[in-house]
C-alpha cells in the first residue's frame, strides 16, 4: 500500500467515524428520553396518560390529551394556511415568472427559514394577536394566532422543495402538453403536479414536522391553556409548549411526565420524517 492509498484510507475512516458519531449522538438522545419518560407511562398506564383530560402534576394527574389535541389543531391550521400559499408561490415561481424573478425571489424566501422563531412570535404578539382580539373577539392568544404564525414559518420549506420538484420535471412534459393545446394552468395541474407529486408531498410533510416541533413562537401567541379548545379563537397549549413552560421547575414524577411528553413528540416527528425520507427516495428512484 503506497502513501496515497494509505492517506485515502485514513480520510475515509475519519469521515466514517464522524458519520457514526452523529448517529451515536442521536442514539444517546433517544435512549435518554425514553429511559426518563417511559417508566411513568408504564406506572400510570399509557391509555390514561395519553387520553387523560387533566394536567395537574402536583395532584399526580398527567393527562396529555389537551396538549395532543392542541398540537394537532395548531398543526392542521398551519397546513391549511401554509400549503395553499406555498404551492401557489411555487407554481408562480416555476411556471409564470421569469428566471430573473425566480433567482431573486427564491433566495429571499429561503432566508425566512433563518429568522429566529422568537421574532415571528414577537410580531404575532404585537400585530396579529391584537388584530384577532379586536376583529374576531376572544383573548387574541388562540389557535388561530398560532396557526397563522406557523403557517408563515413553514412557507420556506414548502416553497423551496416544491420549486425544486417542479423544476426537476423534464421540459418535454411541458412542451408536449402545450403542443397538444393545453393552457399553462392545465399543464401545471394535470401534468406537472402529478409528475412532481412525491416531492410536493415531502415538502408538506417536512413543513408539518416543523409545525409540530415549534416551541417559542407558539408559547408567545397560543395562550397556553391546558384545555381542549372549543374554537379557533380559544387559547391552546401544545406538547412542545408544555415541556418548555414547566421543565425549568419540574421535579420527580412531574419531570418524568414532561420527558414522557417528549417521547410522544419524538415519535410523532420521527414518523413524519421517515415518511418524508421515504417519499423523497421514491421520487429520486
Alpha-carbon gap, residue 280 to 200, rounded angstroms: 9
Predicted TM-score (pTM) above 0.85: no
Superfamily designation of domain 55-284: MetI-like (1.10.3720.10)
User: What is the chain written as a DSSP string?
Assistant: --HHHHHHHHHHHHHHHHHHHHHHHHHHHHHHHHHHHHHHHHHH-HHHHHH---EEGGGTEE--HHHHHHHHHHHHHHHHHHHHHHHHHHHIIIIIS-HHHHHHHHHHHHHGGGS-HHHHHHHIIIIIHHHHHHHT-S-S-SHHHHHHHHHHHTHHHHHHHHHHHHHTS-HHHHHHHHHTT--HHHHIIIIIHHHTHHHHHHHHHHHHHHHHH--HHHHHHHB--SS--SSTTS-B--HHHHHHHHTTT--THHHHHHHHHHHHHHHHHHHHHHHHHHHHHHHH-
| First-to-final CA distance of the chain | 37
Residue 283: per-residue pLDDT: 52
- Where exactly are the structural domains of the chain? 3-46, 55-284
- The set of cell numbers assigned to 31 is 435512549
Residue 1: per-residue pLDDT: 60
Alpha-carbon gap, residue 178 to 187, rounded angstroms: 7
In the predicted model, residues of the chain with pLDDT beneath 50 are none
Share of the chain above pLDDT 70, in %: 96
Residue with C-alpha cell 464522524?
18
Amino acid at each position: 500500500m503506497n502513501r496515497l492509498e494509505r492517506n485515502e484510507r485514513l480520510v475515509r475512516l475519519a469521515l466514517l467515524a464522524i458519520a457514526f458519531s452523529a448517529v451515536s449522538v442521536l442514539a444517546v438522545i433517544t435512549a435518554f428520553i425514553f429511559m426518563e419518560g417511559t417508566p411513568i407511562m408504564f406506572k400510570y398506564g399509557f391509555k390514561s396518560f395519553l387520553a387523560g383530560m387533566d394536567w395537574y402534576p402536583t395532584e399526580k394527574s398527567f393527562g396529555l390529551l389537551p396538549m395532543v389535541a392542541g398540537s394537532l389543531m395548531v398543526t392542521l391550521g398551519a397546513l391549511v394556511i401554509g400549503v395553499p400559499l406555498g404551492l401557489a408561490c411555487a407554481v408562480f415561481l416555476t411556471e409564470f415568472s421569469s428566471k430573473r424573478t425566480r433567482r431573486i425571489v427564491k433566495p429571499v424566501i429561503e432566508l425566512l427559514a433563518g429568522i429566529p422563531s422568537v421574532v415571528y412570535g414577537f410580531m404575532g404578539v404585537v400585530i396579529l394577536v391584537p388584530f384577532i382580539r379586536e376583529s374576531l373577539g376572544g383573548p387574541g392568544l388562540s389557535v388561530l394566532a398560532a396557526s397563522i404564525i406557523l403557517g408563515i414559518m413553514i412557507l420556506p420549506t414548502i416553497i423551496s422543495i416544491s420549486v425544486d420538484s417542479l423544476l426537476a420535471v423534464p421540459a418535454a412534459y411541458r412542451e408536449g402538453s402545450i403542443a397538444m393545446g393545453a393552457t399553462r394552468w392545465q399543464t401545471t395541474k394535470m401534468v406537472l403536479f402529478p409528475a412532481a407529486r412525491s416531492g410536493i408531498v415531502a415538502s408538506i410533510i417536512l413543513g408539518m414536522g416543523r409545525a409540530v416541533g415549534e416551541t417559542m413562537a407558539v408559547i408567545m401567541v397560543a395562550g397556553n391553556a391546558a384545555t381542549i379548545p372549543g374554537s379557533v379563537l380559544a387559547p391552546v397549549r401544545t406538547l412542545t409548549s408544555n415541556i418548555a413552560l414547566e421543565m425549568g421547575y419540574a421535579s420527580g414524577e412531574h419531570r418524568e411526565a414532561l420527558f414522557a411528553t417528549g417521547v410522544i413528540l419524538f415519535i410523532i416527528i420521527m414518523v413524519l420524517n421517515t415518511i418524508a425520507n421515504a417519499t423523497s427516495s421514491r421520487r429520486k428512484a
